[in-house]
């Protein structure tokens, strides 16, 4: 059942990527379909299919909504395809689906709303470092002498 569902998500991913494609993007879409079929047997080919779709999207320059649909389908495809031995319902958990939907919404909003912040390039590296510190805080520290940075 998970292979059939992953195939459906994969076909949706390729269909969204080829919506406004022509030329080399269609060649990458054909590579993605071949990798999609091979991905039913070999899991590594599933990742190759997603990389081919990303290339097709980069060459065709679709609208942000189409790219978000392809990205959501690619996320669901990889999650379901790599859920070995489990059913799709346990692979697509609520946090996974909410994270994918939330990040897609933020991406579409960021790509469609014209917002010019001249100071953003100065703040972005600091925000990335702060995000890493927040995420890695619980793993930092000496194993024998304490815990997090706080």
Residues of the chain with pLDDT under 70: 84-85, 140-150
pTM, full prediction: 0.75
For residue 88, what are the contacts with CB-CB under 8 A and spacing of at least 6? 1, 2, 5, 80
Instruction: Provide the 3-class DSSP secondary structure of residue 19.
Output: coil
**Whole-number CA gyration radius for the chain:** 19
The model's pLDDT over 6-20, given as tens digits with 9 standing for 90+, comes to 899 999 999 999 988
């Amino acid at each position: 059942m998970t292979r059939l569902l992953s195939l459906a998500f994969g076909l949706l991913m390729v269909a969204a990527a080829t919506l406004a494609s022509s030329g080399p993007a269609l060649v990458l879409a054909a590579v993605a379909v071949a990798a999609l079929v091979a991905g039913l047997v070999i899991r590594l080919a599933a990742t190759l299919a997603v990389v081919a779709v990303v290339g097709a999207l980069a060459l065709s320059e679709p609208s942000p909504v189409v790219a978000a649909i392809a990205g959501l389908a690619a996320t669901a495809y990889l999650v379901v395809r790599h859920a070995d031995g489990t059913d799709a319902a346990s692979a697509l958990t609520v946090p996974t689906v909410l994270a994918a939907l939330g990040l897609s919404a933020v991406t579409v909003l960021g790509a469609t709303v014209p917002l010019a912040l001249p100071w953003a390039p100065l703040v972005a590296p600091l925000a990335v470092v702060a995000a890493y510190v927040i995420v890695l805080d619980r793993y930092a520290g000496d194993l024998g002498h304490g815990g997090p940075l706080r």
